[in-house]
Amino acid sequence: MFSWYRQVTPRERKTFWACFGGWSLDALEVQMFGLAIPALIAAFALTKGDAGLISGVTLVTSALGGWVGGTLSDRYGRVRTLQLMILWFSFFTFLSAFVTGFNQLLVVKALQGFGIGGEWAAGAVLMAETINPHYRGKVMGTVQSAWAVGWGLAVGVFTLIYTWVPQDMAWRVMFLVGLLPSFLIIWVRRNVEEPDSFQRLQKENAIPQSFFKSLAGIFRPELIRVTLFGGLLGLGAHGGYHAVMTWLPTFLKTERNLSVLNSGGYLAVIIIAFWCGCVASGYLIDRIGRRKNIVLFALCCVVTVQCYVFLPLTNTQMLFLGFPLGFFAAGIPASLGALFNELYPADVRGAGVGFCYNFGRVLSAVFPFLVGHMSDSMSLGSAIGIDAGIAYGVAVLAALCLPETRGRDLEANAPSVSAGINGNQRARA
């Protein structure tokens, strides 16, 4: 499954480790906040609503950061934008250690989220443009699996610090660690080059001359259909995930009286499953194509969620079912990086990838809201199952309306949607 690593060039390997490291550190920074929530509630007398507001605002700003970061990468370069965003989110994570109240924490975490979203977009385009098209799906899926690595690192850092540091200071020390990712910039500057496609744009003087021109470029006539369906795909993928993950802990505690989500064993299962799902999705996306892979994982997500909410499961059974839940939930996001990059020409690729992925992140908040609203007139489990089915159904329909792009050469401009649908075989390596 990892035989591609021996066959790629040293330049491709260095870019892989730069992006893998960046995305791991993204996850480390995000998950550290989640683990520190109980300590923050105690330190600043926050309500659960306050903590939820911070998480929600951070989600929105990370989506905005993805739009801006992707567009900046079209204007100033993939590598330069990657470095800027790593420095940005590292600095604001570090600054979180010095906050003295709710308002300061809200602002700092919102700014941190902006950098995290921008780093994902710049890294996704950099990796996709650098790697050999034959291995693009496998590599992009493996890079996406870095989220599980960062998640595991966050748990390890949390456990270590809270073991040796007094409780009232431990969360501050943990956020101080957030400055360490900034040192990755030194390695990136020395080892990672701009992709050939971006260098070609520079030589041809074809780089968008303004931020807004690049962003508007994804809505030009030959790309607008791709952009609309790409945004819907992002909406369905993120909406399904948040509909399930936002309400599943409440469902299990209130309607099933299960405590499995509080156990370290369940957390370990979910993290390992997420990593395996990303890697497996990357392998399949190169074997069966982008669209089929998304449809497969979306349907498996729906089946798994229905089992969760309708079958009478014990704690032990829930623990084992946690693996397929994490596995299939990871498969769709692991597919999006490759697909979105292959839909756009080089001059607006960053803007297109950033928009499609993050459009869904912002609007996906409607699905958790619908679950809560529907649960007033039906069981919470039924509401979760219905909303997850709708969200993943949107993802399936959007994927089927997009062209199959497996093996597409990113050095060339992306053809129109109609040309892509009718020319799948020509687009394959």
Q: What is the pLDDT of residues 338-381, one digit of tens each?
A: 999 999 998 889 999 999 988 877 777 677 777 777 877 888 78
Residues 13 and 136 in one domain: yes
| 27/289 Cα distance (integer angstroms) | 27
Cα separation values, 187 from 36, 83, 190, 192, 404, Å = 29, 10, 5, 8, 35
Name residues whose C-beta falls within 8 Å of residue 17's C-beta, 6 or more positions apart in sequence.
none
pLDDT at 25: 83
> At which of 187, 202, 224 does a domain end?
187
Per 3-state DSSP, the chain is made up of helix, strand and coil in percentages (nearest 5) of 85, 0, 15
User: Is position 337 within any domain?
Assistant: yes
CB 225 within 8 A of CB 417: yes
Residues 239 and 330 in one domain: yes
Question: 3-class DSSP state for residue 261?
Answer: helix
Residues 161 and 222 in one domain: no
Residues 168 and 237 in one domain: no
User: Is position 270 within any domain?
Assistant: yes
pTM of the model: 0.83
Residues 244 and 165 in one domain: no
| 365/371 Cα distance (integer angstroms) | 10
Residues 273 and 158 in one domain: no
User: Is position 143 within any domain?
Assistant: yes
DSSP per-residue codes, 367-382: HHHHHHHHTTTS-HHH
User: Is position 287 within any domain?
Assistant: yes
pLDDT at 401: 94
3-state secondary structure 401-414: CCCCCCCCCCCCCC
CB 326 within 8 A of CB 273: yes
Structure tokens at 395: 């993802």
Residues 100 and 166 in one domain: yes
Residues of the chain with pLDDT under 50: 413-429
User: Is position 206 within any domain?
Assistant: no
The total domain count for the chain is 2
Residues 182 and 218 in one domain: no
Residues 136 and 239 in one domain: no
User: Is position 2 within any domain?
Assistant: no
pLDDT at 403: 92
Q: Which domain holds residue 68?
A: 8-187
> At which of 187, 202, 222 does a domain end?
187
Residues 73 and 126 in one domain: yes
pLDDT at 428: 39
Residue 368's CATH number: 1.20.1250.20
Q: What are phi and psi of 257, to 5 degrees?
A: 55, 40
Q: What are phi and psi of 38, to 5 degrees?
A: -60, -40
User: Is position 282 within any domain?
Assistant: yes
Structure tokens at 316: 């032990």
pLDDT at 125: 92
Residues 181 and 217 in one domain: no
pLDDT at 138: 92
pLDDT at 203: 82
Structure tokens at 72: 């900046």
pLDDT tens-place string over residues 93-109:
899 999 988 899 999 98
> At which of 150, 170, 187 does a domain end?
187
| 394/232 Cα distance (integer angstroms) | 7
Residues 342 and 399 in one domain: yes
CB 137 within 8 A of CB 406: yes
User: Is position 207 within any domain?
Assistant: no
